[in-house]
Amino acid sequence: MTTRITIRQIYADLRLIFSQAMRLSRLELLQRYKRSVLGIWWSLLNPIISVGVYYLIFSEIILIQGFSKKEYLIYLVAGVVVINFSLQTITTIAEGFSVRVNVITRLKVNPYTIAHGTLGASVFNFLMTLLPFFILLFFDRGISPRLLLLFPLICAMMYFFFGIGLLLAIAYTLFDDAKAITRLVFSFMPFFTPVFYKIEQLPQALQHWITASPFTNFLILFRWSIGEPQTLQITMFLNLVLSLVLSSICLKYFHIKWDRIVKVL
């Protein structure tokens, strides 16, 4: 017997997934900031403090070349916002399963529902941090039509982080030190991504490596979308497609491994 999948059914399923993700994200945010004095505003303050510290170090002490102070501030904020979103989303999705081990081993749950909730909470935090940034941009250069490209770009980023996060979730479950290793690697990531500097300022050999990173690619496309003078190359779009393919492979691998994860948990 074959089951016909109708468009109405797909729409209903997507609506349910979206609604569940939204509700779970709300609870995730509530839980995350419940014991914090500033509550949800901490997600806004955190990047502002980071940007302030980096700005002081790189514009006043190390003196990064090729920018005016205002240009550098916008360049830096874009970098910090994107790299924070990238690393936090991947880490929280990966940790989501070990944090919820008690639920996973007691109830039949859909692992993707858990991950969607975590992803939704991270996206909410990201949008919170984008708000003051866009106000800054609006007063500096007005609204660029390129901003419309941010929507597909953020969707692509979400898909990529989702896949990588789930892949890391497998590692976190199987290996006790995977979390510590990831934290170490991720602490260097802002320095291996052009968050504070321009990629052209690096030696040629290093440029190839840094450009190959999906994080760099997302960051360059993000900066281009907000109207920064970035040079786009065809390889960037190839890199983007490759990232999405890689994420799909990760998702498939997670799907195969999920049963084992539950048993190890």
Partner 1 sequence: MKRQLLIELRGVSLDLPAHELRNKSLKSLVLSKIKGDLVPKPARRILSNIDLKIIRGESLSVIGKNGSGKSSLLRVLSDIYSPSAGILIGGASRMPLIELDGAFNGELTVLENIDFLSILLGIPYKRILPIKQSVLEFSELQTFAFQPMRTLSTGMKARFAFAFATSIESELIFIDESLSVGDSQFSKKATARIRELKRKGVTLVLVTHDLTLARRFTSKCLWLENGSKRLYGSTKLVIEKYKTF
Q: Which of 31, 36, 187, 201 binds partner 1 (CB under 8 A)?
A: 31
Can you tell me the distance from the alpha carbon of 209 to that of 192, in angstroms, rounded to the nearest whole number? 9
Minimum gap (Å) between residue 15 Cβ and partner 1: 10
Q: Least Å distance between CB 105 and partner 1?
A: 7
Size of the site for partner 1 (CB under 8 A): 34
Residues 4, 61, 234, 259: which binds partner 1 (CB under 8 A)? 259
50, 98, 113, 211: which one binds partner 1 (CB under 8 A): 113
Angle between helix 69-99 and 111-141 (nearest 10): 170
Closest distance of CB 188 from partner 1, Å? 18
- Give least dist CB 252 to partner 1, A: 17
**109 binds partner 1 per the rule CB under 8 A:** yes
Residue positions counted in the chain:
265
What b/e sequence results for 162-198 when a residue is b if at least 16 CB atoms lie within 10 Å of its CB, and e otherwise?
bbbbbbbbbebbeeeebbeebeeeeeeebeebbbbbe
Compose the 123-162 pattern: x for residues touching partner 1 by CB under 8 A, - for all others: ----------------------------------------
> Applying CB under 8 A, which of residues 4, 8, 69, 106 lies at the interface with partner 1?
106
The CA-based dihedral angle spanning residues 103, 105, 111, 114, taken in that order and rounded to the nearest 10 degrees: 10
- With CB under 8 A as the contact rule, the residue among 56, 177, 238, 248 that binds partner 1 is 177
Phi–psi pair at 105, nearest 5 degrees: -90, 0
**Crossing angle of helices 69-99 and 42-55, rounded to 10°:** 130
Separation of alpha carbons 129 and 40, rounded Å: 11
The verdict on 174 binding partner 1 (CB under 8 A) reads yes
Closest CB to partner 1 among 60 and 259? 259
